[in-house]
Chain A
Amino acid sequence: MSVRFGLLTLLEEQPMYGYQLRQEFESTTGSTWPLNVGQVYTTLTRLERDGLVEITAEGDEAQRVYSITGAGHDEVQAWFATPVRHQSPPRDELAIKLALAVRSPGVDVRAVIQAQRTATVRALQEYTRAREAAANDLSWLLVADSLIFAAEAEVRWLDHCETRLVRHPKPSTPISDPQSVPVREAAKR
Chain B
Amino acid sequence: MTMPVLELRDVSRTHGHDDALVRALDHVSLAVAAGEFVAVMGPSGSGKSTLLNLAGGLDAPSSGDVVVEGNRLGGLTRSSLAQLRRRSIGYVFQNLNLIPSLTAAENVMLPRELDGVPIRRARREALAALAEVSMADLADRFPDDMSGGQQQRVAIARAVVGDRRLILADEPTGALDSNTGEGVLRLLRTRCDSGAAAVLVTHDARHAGWADRVVFLRDGATIDETPPLDVPEALLAGGRTP
Residues of A within 8 A of B (CB): 30-33, 114-115, 117-130, 132-133, 147-149, 151-152, 155-156, 159, 162-163
Contact = CB atoms under 8 A, between A and B. Distances in A.
A126 B205 contact: no
Contacts of A127: 209, 235-236, 239
Contacts of A122: 214, 226-227, 229
B239 A126 contact: yes
Given A122-B227, A124-B209, A130-B235, 14 more contacts: A31-B236, A32-B236, A115-B224, A118-B225, A119-B240, A121-B208, A122-B214, A122-B226, A123-B240, A126-B239, A132-B189, A133-B235, A151-B209, A152-B209
Contacts of B208: 121, 124-125
B206 interface: yes
Contacts of A162: 43
A3 to B, nearest CB: 14
A134 to B, nearest CB: 10
Interface in B10-42: 41
A8 B90 CA distance: 53
A114 B216 contact: yes
29 contacts: A30-B236, A31-B236, A117-B216, A118-B214, A118-B216, A118-B225, A120-B240, A121-B209, A122-B227, A123-B239, A123-B240, A124-B205, A124-B208, A124-B209, A125-B212, A125-B214, A126-B230, A126-B235, A126-B239, A127-B239, A128-B209, A128-B210, A130-B232, A130-B235, A133-B232, A147-B242, A148-B206, A152-B209, A156-B205
Contacts, number: 82
A150 to B, nearest CB: 9
